[in-house]
């Protein structure tokens, strides 16, 4: 199962409306392409084209995003800053459990979406489930830097 298919499955399990799930998938795809670009990895041209359109047009037109931008954008901005912090630590040879968790910031955004959709009490009850969606284990993260 592809990463996008897995995320779609998880978002259905979390009972997210289609526009919310679609926006989260677009954010995830952007993160993957931007991270690959920052790392100097090869980019799939079709995925890059999707992300260019999505980031500049599609995500802003998404009904869930449009209705909740005032809450979503500060959380998304925070995740970008955490990603920068993780990159800085990794490039400086300081990759550790903290920088690993900064990389998991996308799931903070997912939890905020769950909170918008279901309210804070239900989101709190679902928080562990949401945060455990992060697929990369700490050992895998450490391995990336052991081989660098």
Domain containing residue 93: 3-146
pLDDT in 10s for each residue of the chain, 148 residues: 688 889 999 999 999 999 999 999 999 999 999 989 988 999 999 999 999 999 999 999 999 999 999 999 999 999 999 999 999 998 899 989 898 889 888 999 999 999 999 999 999 999 999 999 987 777 887 777 765 5
**Domain tally, the chain:** 1
- 143 token code pair: 């391995």
Query: What sign does the CA torsion over 4, 10, 13, 17 have?
Result: negative
| pTM assigned to the model | 0.90
Helix ranges (H only) for the chain are: 3-13, 18-39, 45-53, 59-61, 63-91, 97-103, 106-118, 120-131, 138-146
């Amino acid at each position: 199962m592809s990463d996008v298919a897995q995320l779609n499955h998880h978002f259905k399990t979390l009972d997210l409306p289609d526009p919310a799930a679609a926006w989260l998938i677009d954010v995830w795809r952007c993160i993957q392409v931007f991270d690959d670009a920052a790392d100097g990895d090869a980019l799939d041209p079709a995925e890059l084209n999707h992300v260019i359109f999505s980031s500049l047009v599609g995500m802003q037109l998404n009904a869930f995003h449009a209705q909740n931008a005032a809450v979503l954008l500060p959380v998304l901005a925070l995740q970008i800053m955490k990603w920068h912090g993780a990159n800085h630590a990794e490039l400086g040879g300081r990759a550790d459990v903290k920088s690993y968790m900064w990389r998991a910031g996308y799931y903070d955004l997912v939890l905020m979406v769950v909170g918008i959709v279901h309210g804070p009490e239900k989101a709190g009850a679902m928080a562990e489930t949401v945060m455990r969606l992060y697929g990369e284990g700490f050992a895998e993260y450490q391995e990336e830097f052991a081989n660098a």
